[in-house]
Amino acid sequence: WRNRSLPRVSLEASSVRCWRRYSHPTRRRVPDMEEILARVVVPLPSYETREKCPPPPESVSLELMHYYRGLEKEDKVDFLTKLSQEYGVDHKAVSELSAKLLDTQLRDLATILQVEDRLRYSLTPRYKQLLSHTSRIEGGVKFLVDLRADVLEMISSKASESPHIRELNGTLKGLLSEWFSVGLLRLERITWQSPCEILQKISQYEAVHPVRNWTDLKRRVGPCRRCYAFTHAAMPGEPLVVLHVALTEDISDNIQSIVREFATLESEEDVNKINSAIFYSISSTQAGLQGVELGNYLIKRVVRELQSG
């Protein structure tokens, strides 16, 4: 055995390269921020073709959502800054149309109105089209709500004092105000029979009087209590604003008697003893909907609901 010659194995360079290629697969190159933005923010269609231009494919918005969610907080600041500064309003076009509008003041009304309409269109930021299309895909509205929460955080923390960021915030707020108008909201009464996920979120989102435990939560949706929430079809299972109501015989002068010592779980609700409805807690759950009027509408809807009941 010791004297037996072993066969010599020789590897050609090409074989080694081949083995390396298959044993170490090449990593897919991660696109940089500039590349992503250039790909997902398409140019604003010309005024003449604005109604004929087909919408971008859903893959564009999906790529935006996937890329943005994978960024660290500091990178999100850079991304939103670049988006707002480099893909906003074409100020050169606005200046040219403004000058043209001044030149047409002595012309016929039809010409003036057309130039005004062109000027109005030129004031549209390039990224607005991307935001609008993103809202139409599954999870897109929730993504934009969270995106605006990041923008608001940038403004409040002064991570960016660029006026472009404030313009982006205004654009997002305008879009969200349309999508979350009161006619598109659904009023839901939350009870102990509601889905567990909803009850858990109601507990987590309570900002005025924190829920101590499940027994406390059960009491808040039990006898002589009402819990209502606004929901939206684009964000299923997500309460947007939550209102807690106590039905009492008279108006209490102590909030603790409502929060901690009110009706027991076993007590029956006697409608003959209910003379007052105390709205003791209202919580907005989405930071990105700040400034979008929801709370007042919810209170008015609940008042009508209780009066009709």
pLDDT at 87: 94
With pLDDT > 90 as the criterion, what percentage of the chain qualifies? 57
The verdict on 154 and 202 lying in the same domain is no
pTM of the model: 0.83
* pLDDT tens digits, one per residue of 228-277: 999 999 999 999 999 999 998 888 777 777 776 655 555 678 788 888 89
* pLDDT tens digits, one per residue of 121-169: 889 999 999 999 999 999 999 999 999 999 999 999 988 888 999 999 9
pLDDT at 45 over 90: no
Query: What is the count of structural domains for the chain?
Result: 2
- Token code pair at residue 138: 């599954």
pLDDT at 47: 85
In a domain, 194, yes or no: yes
Domain, as residue range, for 220? 183-308
pLDDT at 207: 84
pLDDT at 7: 47
pLDDT at 33 over 70: yes
Residues with Cβ within 8 Å of residue 197, at least 6 apart in sequence: 237
The verdict on 135 and 195 lying in the same domain is no
In a domain, 13, yes or no: no
The verdict on 148 and 201 lying in the same domain is no
Helix/strand/coil (H/E/C) assignment for every residue in 269-294 = CCHHHCCEEEEEEEEECCHHHCCCCC
* pLDDT tens digits, one per residue of 269-308: 878 888 889 999 999 999 999 999 999 999 999 999 999 8
Name the DSSP letter for residue 248.
E
pLDDT at 97: 82
Phi-psi region of 270 (alpha: psi -120 to 50; beta: other; left: phi over 0): beta
Residue 196 or residue 100, greater confidence = 196
Contact (Cβ atoms closer than 8 angstroms) between residue 170 and residue 155: no
pLDDT bucket at 104, cuts 50 / 70 / 90: low
- Token code pair at residue 101: 């509008």
pLDDT at 24 over 50: no
| Neighbour count for residue 26 (Cβ, 10 Å) | 6
Q: What is the CATH number of the domain that holds 196?
A: 3.40.630.150
Helix (H, G, I), strand (E, B) or coil at 262: coil
Instruction: Kindly provide the residue ranges of all beta strands, DSSP E only, lying in the chain, ordered along the sequence.
Output: 185-189, 225-232, 241-248, 276-284
